[in-house]
C-alpha cells in the first residue's frame, strides 16, 4: 500500500502502466475509519483490480468551524484499517485540493436544500465539490458510498448523472453495532452515557408509526431533534446528544 500526500506524485502514478487496462475502485473518506469504511474497501477490493482510498477532512463541508476542529483525525490507525485492502491512499492537503480557494463549486438546488442541507447551509456544496475533484483525480470505474449518508448518496448519484461522469456509484448498506447504532466517526465523541442512549435513535425511527410520532419519542429518550422526515420509502433523521450530532435512516 502506497501513501501519496502529494497530488503531483499521485497523478504520475495514476498515469503509469500499473493502471493500464485495470479497473479502479474508489473509496472517498474523511478518515477516522471504522468497520463501515472497511466494508466499502472490502467491496471495492472484490470488484476492482486497483483500490484507491482517499483520506481528506474536507473543510468546505463543515458549516460549524468547531465541528471541523473536533473532527477525529487518526491517520496511523486509518492506514492499519486500509492495509491489505487499498493499493493507494491519497492524503491530500486542503491547499492542493482548493488551488482556487473554493471560488469554483458545485451546487445542487433542490434536494441539497432539504433535510441535512436545511440544517447545515452549504454542506452539500462542499461535499459535491470535493467528490467531483476527487473523481477527476482518481478516475475510478466505481466509487463506493455508504447508505447511512442517504442524502449524500442521492446527491452524488444525481451529480454523476447530470455532469455525465464516467463512474458507477455503488451504494453499500449501513453497518451497525450489535445494539443497532450506525457506525460513524462521530460515535467516538459520545460519552459513555450518551453512547448508552444512542442506539435508541435507530430503534425509535424504525418503531414509530410516522415521522411526526418519532420526534417526541426521540425527545423523551434524551435527544434534541433536528428533523425526522419520510422520503422515498426511507425515514431519515438527525439528532444531537450531548452536542454530538448523529444522522441515520431506516427503510420503511
Ligand atoms: O462521507 C464522507 O466521508 C464525506 O462526505 C466524503 C464523501 C468523503 C466527502 O468529503
Strand positions, DSSP E, 152-212: 168-172
The CATH classification number of 185-251 equals 3.30.1300.10
Atom of ligand 1 nearest to the CA of 134: 9
Residues 248, 194: contact at Cβ < 8 Å? no
Q: What residues contact residue 213 under an 8 Å CB cut-off, 6+ apart? A: none
Q: Is the pTM of this model over 0.85?
A: yes
For residue 75, give the C-alpha cell.
491517520
CA-CA-CA-CA torsion sign (107, 109, 115, 117): positive
What Rg, from alpha-carbon coordinates, does the chain have? Answer: 18
Decide whether 2-172 matches 185-251 in CATH topology: no
**29: Cα separation from own chain's centroid:** 6
Residues 115, 124: contact at Cβ < 8 Å? no
Q: Are strands 2-4 and 88-90 parallel, antiparallel or unpaired?
A: parallel
Q: Tell whether ligand 1 has an atom less than 6 A from the beta carbon of residue 149.
A: yes
Q: Tell whether ligand 1 has an atom less than 6 A from the beta carbon of residue 247.
A: no
pLDDT averaged over the chain? 97
- Structural domain 2-172, CATH architecture: 3-Layer(aba) Sandwich (3.40)
Domain ranges of the chain: 2-172, 185-251
Q: Please tell me the distance between residue 209's alpha carbon and the centre of ligand 1 in angstroms.
A: 31
Give the catalytic positions in this structure.
37
Q: Tell whether ligand 1 has an atom less than 6 A from the beta carbon of residue 208.
A: no
For residue 67, give the C-alpha cell.
465541528
Nearest CA to ligand 1 atom 1: 29
Instruction: Give me the mean pLDDT over the 116-135 stretch.
Output: 98
Q: Please tell me the distance between residue 152's alpha carbon and the centre of ligand 1 in angstroms.
A: 8
Q: Please tell me the distance between residue 220's alpha carbon and the centre of ligand 1 in angstroms.
A: 31
**SS3 of residue 28 by DSSP:** strand
- Tens digit of each residue's pLDDT (9 = 90 or more) over 161-218: 999 999 999 999 999 999 999 999 999 999 999 999 999 999 999 999 999 999 999 9
Amino acid at each position: 500500500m502506497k501513501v501519496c500526500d502529494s497530488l503531483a506524485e499521485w497523478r504520475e502514478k495514476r498515469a503509469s502502466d500499473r493502471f493500464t487496462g485495470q479497473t479502479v475502485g474508489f473509496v472517498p473518506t474523511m478518515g477516522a475509519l471504522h468497520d463501515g469504511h472497511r466494508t466499502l474497501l472490502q467491496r471495492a477490493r472484490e470488484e476492482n483490480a486497483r483500490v484507491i482510498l482517499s483520506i481528506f477532512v474536507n473543510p468546505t463541508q463543515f458549516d460549524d468551524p468547531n465541528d471541523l476542529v473536533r473532527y477525529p483525525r487518526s491517520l496511523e490507525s486509518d492506514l492499519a484499517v486500509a492495509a491489505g485492502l487499498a493499493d493507494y491512499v491519497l492524503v491530500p492537503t486542503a491547499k492542493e485540493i482548493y488551488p482556487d480557494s473554493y471560488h469554483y463549486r458545485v451546487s445542487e438546488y433542490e434536494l441539497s436544500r432539504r433535510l441535512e442541507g436545511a440544517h447545515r447551509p452549504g454542506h452539500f456544496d462542499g461535499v459535491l465539490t470535493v467528490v467531483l475533484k476527487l473523481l477527476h483525480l482518481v478516475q475510478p470505474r466505481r466509487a463506493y458510498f455508504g447508505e447511512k449518508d442517504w442524502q449524500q448518496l442521492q446527491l452524488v448519484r444525481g451529480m454523476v448523472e447530470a455532469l455525465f461522469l464516467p463512474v458507477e456509484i455503488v451504494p453499500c448498506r449501513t453497518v451497525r453495532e450489535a445494539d443497532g447504532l450506525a457506525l460513524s466517526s462521530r460515535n467516538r465523541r459520545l460519552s459513555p452515557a450518551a453512547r448508552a442512549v444512542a442506539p435508541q435513535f435507530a430503534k425509535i425511527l424504525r418503531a414509530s408509526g410516522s415521522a411526526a410520532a418519532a420526534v417526541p419519542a426521540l425527545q423523551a429518550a434524551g435527544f434534541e431533534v433536528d428533523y425526522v422526515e419520510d422520503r422515498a420509502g426511507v425515514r431519515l433523521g438527525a439528532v444531537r446528544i450531548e452536542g454530538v450530532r448523529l444522522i441515520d435512516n431506516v427503510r420503511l
